[in-house]
Amino acid sequence: MSKKRILTGDRPTGKLHLGHYVGSLHNRVKLQRDYETFVIIADVQALTTHFEHPESLKNDIFQITLDYLGAGIDPNISTIFIQSLVPALHELSMYLGLIVPVNVLRHNPTVKAEAAQHGFKDMNYGFLGYPVSQTSDICAFKAHLVPVGEDQLPHIELSRRIVRRFNSLYKPVLVEPEALIGQVPRLTGLDGKAKMSKSLDNAIFLADSDKEIQQKVRNAVTDPARIRATDPGHPDICCVYEYHKVFSEDELPLIREECEGGKIGCVACKNKLSSALNNLLKPIRSKRTQLETRPDIIWDILHDGTAKAAAAAQQTVEEVREAMCINYFQQ
Ligand code: TRP
């Protein structure tokens, strides 16, 4: 039997950070051998908010591909492709849009939060409808599993709803997808306030140098009640400890004990974290840097991946057309 499929991906709006890594990228790397994996670089979706700045897309696509490959997505077994270049996705969006009530889109909490973040008062049609386009991305590949960050759950829920409606109205050709959320669904930024995000300037990027990591960790917020290194600390309200939970799992009991006992100061504790992060990111960074000098290889991977994805998506669209009785020239 052939493998089940994964469809997953990101908007190319800048370099990926640790939040992406623990939220979904790690899962994708881990599962790429068990599932036939397609990774979408959603440039059209990026344009739903960045339509005034299309000129940065090409470099953003290049950078995100470096992040994927650096993190361990293997282009020999996974297919990385560019959304805008797969016509079947846009065709399918049109068909699926026929069966989605506008009110359902209006109530999508992630869309609402993004609209507020970008200061959209009146939402553009493409922006309001991007979860439908995302549903086409998933459905065109008949993906069973969608490894994504927690903020994507409303979209996958919508996809499931659309698939059920389509399959019962026409023919059961589409697959109801399931979301897979990472080990840490919502990594807090180093400011300890909000989710890690590029726009909030609280992110550690996969491409960050050892120095940048150290500097960012040094500025992280710890227990405010702790003034001297010998004061007993409170790891449960400390942002650095939150990170140790994820990135220094083995040392966790020791770190807690030393912090609570005033045996380790925040500076030393932060140094431990920087070196754990650096150990994780070093191989990613070095592969990334190495590939960065070979743009020809990157664009070849994207070119071939896109051709392969386009063929797979086209096949589904043909089944969809048949189910919807619009395959006029076939008998
Ligand atoms: N919405 C995702 C993001 O904001 C990107 C995306 C587009 C996606 N299409 C998808 C993710 C399909 C998973 C499946 O990063």
Contact (CB, 8 A) for 195 and 186? yes
- Are 54 and 168 within one domain? yes
- Are 170 and 255 within one domain? no
- Are 227 and 177 within one domain? no
CA-derived radius of gyration, the chain: 22
- Are 244 and 309 within one domain? no
Which domain range does residue 63 map to? 5-188+295-324
Q: Give the Å distance between the CA of 130 and the centre of ligand 1.
A: 9
- Are 258 and 301 within one domain? no
Three-state SS at 22: helix
42 lines ligand 1 (CB under 6 A): yes
Three-state SS at 38: strand
- Are 125 and 249 within one domain? no
Residue 331 Cα to chain centre, angstroms: 42
146 lines ligand 1 (CB under 6 A): yes
- Are 156 and 218 within one domain? no
In a domain, 232, yes or no: yes
> CATH number of the domain that 304 lies in?
3.40.50.620
Structure tokens at 317: 């669209």
**Cα angle 130-134-138, degrees, rounded to a multiple of 5:** 170
Calpha distance 252→208 (Å, rounded): 24
Instruction: Please tell me the total count of domains within the chain.
Output: 2
Three-state SS at 91: helix
Tell me: the pLDDT tens digits for 173-229? 999 999 999 888 789 998 888 889 888 889 999 999 999 999 999 999 888 888 888
Half-sphere exposure in the Cβ direction for 49 (13 Å, CA): 17
In a domain, 23, yes or no: yes
Contact (CB, 8 A) for 324 and 95? yes
Half-sphere exposure in the Cβ direction for 254 (13 Å, CA): 6
Measured from the CA of 133, which atom of ligand 1 is nearest? 9
Tell me: the pLDDT tens digits for 288-310? 999 999 999 999 999 999 999 99
Top mutation candidate among 13, 16, 40 for ligand 1, by most atoms within 8 Å of CB = 40
In a domain, 34, yes or no: yes
Q: Give the Å distance between the CA of 134 and the centre of ligand 1.
A: 6
In a domain, 109, yes or no: yes
Tell me: the pLDDT tens digits for 54-102? 999 999 999 999 999 999 999 999 999 999 999 999 999 999 999 999 9
- Are 86 and 145 within one domain? yes
Cα→Cα distances 169→90, 99, 157, Å: 21, 10, 18
pTM reported for the whole predicted model: 0.95
In a domain, 330, yes or no: no
- Are 155 and 13 within one domain? yes
Residue 239 phi/psi, 5° resolution? -65, -35
> CATH number of the domain that 247 lies in?
1.10.240.10
In a domain, 203, yes or no: no
- Are 234 and 278 within one domain? yes
In a domain, 120, yes or no: yes
Tell me: the pLDDT tens digits for 137-181? 999 999 999 999 899 999 999 999 999 999 999 999 999 999 999
- Are 156 and 107 within one domain? yes
- Are 153 and 63 within one domain? yes
